[in-house]
Amino acid sequence: MSRPRRVAITGIGVGGPWGSDADALFTRLLAGESAVALHERDEDHLAISIPAVHWSGFDPLAELGTHISTLDRSGQLGLVAARRAWAQSGLARTEGPDPRGAVYWGTALAGTLTFERGYREMYVNGRRRVPPLSLLLGMNNTAASHIAIEFGMAGACLTYTIACAAAATAIGEGFRRVREGRSDVVIAGGSDSPMSLGVVRAWEALRVLAPAEPHGAAAACRPFASDRAGLVLGEGGAALILEDWDHARARGATILAELTGYGCSSDAEHLVRPSARGQVEAMRQALADGGMTPADVDYVNAHGTATPEGDPIEIDAIGQVFGAAANTLPVSATKSMHGHMMGATGALEAIICVQALRQGRIPPTAHLETVDPACEGVLHVRGGALERPLRACLSNAFAFGGSNAVLAFRRAED
């Protein structure tokens, strides 16, 4: 019997307002720096003004050239992230299509900007037609397809649309593909640009968006805090290169971290009220899948969206998995600084876990001044980064609809 394959992470890339690479992102997170700002649009009768993460300096034409006609903003952010991850991996594109390569991607609302633009032209502006590539721009699988074309990934090109757990699920499923020996390389991640006017209105109608006041837009997302008031939307792309460990070693690649386990579960209870039971199940699966015990874990990057109802349930679930050790287990919710990037968020938080393992530093939950008593029971990283050697960590992603995905990472060691 051959030994189980291991899965290396050899590249990480982000597309968003954090600079050109994942190191710049992590530096800002360690410093507690929020990318959230007031995002305002005023079109006809549909003015919006919400705290959000928006890459206002993004120049798609300069960044991507010819691709801007066949990718909408969401896909553009994804392609930027994939290119950056690929560049870091040092992989060379094969001459032709590579049947040993694959793309596993996540998105929640890929085409929302494109479709809204089309509807607006017809229903508001009285036009009878829409731009000819609207359908291609708006498809959920367009970003993944572009990435597959660009890097010759011919083994599979799959897109998961599981709301906030989309990218984490995509990474987990891609991880399985490599571990099963069906691919040597998988580009995994996600992208979303969800701030269309209609979608913002829909979020507002659910009453879960954090207001800008009284703390100001940058500090509006306050996970685990007694004064938390909801989530903050964000846009962006995030990508990881998952590679067979031996394949990476054979070509002399730098291995950033190891992806060791993946758990997924379904609450099967309620569309929006999360279930600790389902979350516990996903975390336990991820640990077992990675051959790990709770005692191996030195950090949990929480889903932590800052909704009044969701945060305590996640802390409860962590408590059930880690028992008494939860009291000294470092936990942080980085959405306080990068917002909730919907289908991309699991990939961005996976990258944060990789960076934490590499540097031995945990970014804080920003703006966490007073912990809600209902969220006590873990070691909240707050007031600054926590520096300590890290062996392993978990990344949680829990979606509306009740889908849960948890990824387990280890520091890169032969």
Partner 1 sequence: MNSLDLIRDFAKNHGNIAPETVVPEATLADIGIDSLMLLELLFDFEEKTGITLPKDLPNPTTVQDLVTQLDRLGLQPTSGS
Residues that bind partner 1 (CB under 8 A): 61-62, 65-66, 68-70, 131-133, 136
Shortest CB 127 distance to partner 1, Å: 10
Residue 2: strand, helix, or coil: coil
- Distance (Å, whole) CA 154 – CA 99: 5
Q: Distance between CA 219 and CA 258 in Å, rounded?
A: 33
The strand pair at 299-301 and 392-398 is best described as parallel
Closer to partner 1 by CB, 68 or 158: give it: 68
Q: How far is CA 308 from CA 161, 368, 375, in A?
A: 25, 14, 10
CA dist 266 → 357, 393, 405 (Å): 28, 22, 9
* CA atoms in the 13 A half-sphere facing the CB of 226: 6
Intra-chain end-to-end CA distance of the chain, in Å: 20
Rounded to a whole number of angstroms, the minimum distance from the CB of residue 124 to partner 1 is 17
Residue number with CB closer to partner 1 (62 or 205): 62
β-pairing verdict for 185-192 and 330-332: unpaired
Given 146, 215, 340, 380, the catalytic residue: 340
Minimum CB separation of residue 61 from partner 1 in Å reads: 5
Per DSSP bridges, beta strands 233-234 and 48-53 are parallel
164 is catalytic: yes
3-state secondary structure of 158: strand
Of 131 and 181, which CB lies nearer to partner 1 in the complex structure? 131
Torsion of CA 170, 283, 296, 252, to 10 degrees: -10
For 58, the token pair is: 């993004």
Cα separation, 365 vs 118, in Å, equals: 39
Enumerate residues 6+ apart whose C-beta is below 8 A from 243. Answer: 7, 8, 9, 10, 89, 91, 178, 184, 185, 186, 253
C-alpha–C-alpha distance, residues 358 and 254, integer Å: 12
Residues 265, 172: contact at Cβ < 8 Å?
A: no
Residue closer to partner 1 by CB (options 148, 352) is 148
Q: How many angstroms separate the CA atoms of 313 and 319, rounded?
A: 10
Residue closer to partner 1 by CB (options 131, 323) is: 131
The burial class, CB within 10 Å (0-12 / 13-18 / 19+), for 266 is middle
Nearer to partner 1, 50 or 68 (CB): 68
> Which residue number, 70 or 359, has a Cβ lying nearer to partner 1?
70
Three-class HEC string of 209-237 = ECCCCCCCHHHCCCCCECCCCCECEECEE
* CB-nearer residue toward partner 1: 83 or 222: 83
Q: Which of 215, 247, 303, 338 is catalytic?
A: 303
Catalytic residue among 39, 54, 146, 164: 164
The verdict on whether 303 is a catalytic residue reads yes
Residues identified as active-site: 164, 303, 340
